[in-house]
Amino acid sequence: MKQYATELKLWSFFACAGKQAQEKDGNFKNYLTKLEAQLRDITDYYRGNGIDNEIEPEIYIPKELRRYEDYKKDPDPCRGIKTGFPIFDRITKGLKRLNVFLGTTSVGKSALVANIAGHIALMEGLPVLYVNYEMNQEDLIRRMISSLSEVPSDCILDGRYNPGEYQKVVDMGNLIKEIGTLFITDRKPRTINDTLSLIYEYKNKNNIRVVIIDYLGEIADDETAAKERKEYITYGRYTQALKDIGSELDICCLLIVQFNRHGENDPSRANIGGSWKIMQKADIGAALYFEKKDKEYILEVQKQRHGKCPYKIILNFRKEIHKFTESGF
């Protein structure tokens, strides 16, 4: 019976695909993205993924008890994906589906998230897709190699090294190549549908576990955004789309978001640039800012579901190698 129902869905899908092709308005990528989603819904239905069969206690309780038994055998204060920042990981229990990192212009948001990307890809061995909208690919790669090798970025760019530094850079570059888990895009305009298609592609090809969006404000407007004409609606839609794809593909999303002009003096969710819905949809929300009074970099966990909130973590920043560390580590 289920096979017959699936066949009917497929007949309908192929019948409608031709009509949709005529109505694609010249955007072939959007057309393919819609087809992929529709076909995936049909295959999920046939395989049983589309049926919510885990709401019955005789199914979910044994599953959870087995999980708790595994936890007891292997105690760990962080059950999610670890970022390489031990205090942050202990407080948040690791990355969740949608992790929003906020900051003002030039405070080091990209450096912080690049540090996290490098740790996850190299230390945890999990594939990471870094979707880079803002920086030239070569600049981003140089900064990552600088932070990982601890050789100043300017030395790499100038070609002037202290003894032993050049070999550190070469060794780190070869290690990134050998492990093969860090995928970095070049800077070019991408709509939200382009971005989602890229995530699907790298999930299928490389089974990525984490995607980084750097940053929300640089996602190119699509046709819907032109009709919405309001950032808070558009950014809310983008954020929900990224959260949905994370749930669908079992990946964590790190979304970089900028504060508005008031954020430098008041780095709170009230001053998020674009939309308050961004933090509303986040599982973890953390703000990076420089406290002028104490001359300290602060990473403040402003939203989470698993521990203390708000919680301030003091960071050290070695700007010459684009590297953050927690104070005391």
Q: Could you read off the pLDDT of 1-21 as tens digits, one per residue?
A: 566 667 767 777 776 776 666
pLDDT at 126: 97
Direct distance between the N- and C-terminal alpha carbons of the chain, in angstroms, rounded to an integer: 60
- In tens, the pLDDT along 149-192 reads 999 999 999 999 999 999 999 999 999 999 999 999 998 889 99
- The last residue of a domain, from among 70, 98, 129: 70
The span from the CA of 285 to the CA of 34, in Å, is 30
Nearest alpha-carbon partner for 287 in 99, 91, 77, 90: 99
pLDDT tens digits along 235-265 = 999 999 999 999 989 999 999 999 887 777 8
Could you say which of 18, 37, 70 is where a domain stops?
70
Assess whether pLDDT exceeds 70 at residue 323: yes
Whether residue 20 is found in the same domain as residue 130: no
Judgement on whether residues 178 and 265 belong to the same structural domain of the protein: yes
Do residues 253 and 242 lie in contact, with contact meaning Cβ atoms separated by under 8 Å?
yes
Give the pLDDT confidence score for residue 223 in this predicted structure. 85
DSSP-H helix ranges across the chain = 2-22, 28-47, 57-73, 86-92, 109-118, 137-149, 153-158, 165-179, 192-206, 223-228, 231-249, 277-281
Same structural domain, 100 and 62: no
Q: Dihedral of the CA atoms 79, 67, 99, 312 (nearest 10)?
A: -40
Q: Do residues 167 and 256 both lie within one domain?
A: yes
pLDDT, tens digit, for every residue of 74-90? Answer: 988 888 899 999 999 99
Query: Domain boundary residue among 17, 45, 70?
Result: 70
Q: Which one has a higher pLDDT value, 31 or 225?
A: 225
Domain containing 201 equals 78-326
Contact by Cβ (8 Å): 299, 287: yes
Examine the domain organization and report whether 27 and 99 are in the same domain: no
Tell the residue number behind the tokens 């999610």, with chain if given.
80
Report the interhelical angle of 2-22 vs 28-47 (nearest 10°): 180
Question: Largest Cα–Cα distance of the chain, in whole Å?
Answer: 72
CATH number assigned to the domain comprising residue 99: 3.40.50.300
What pLDDT sits at residue 277? 79
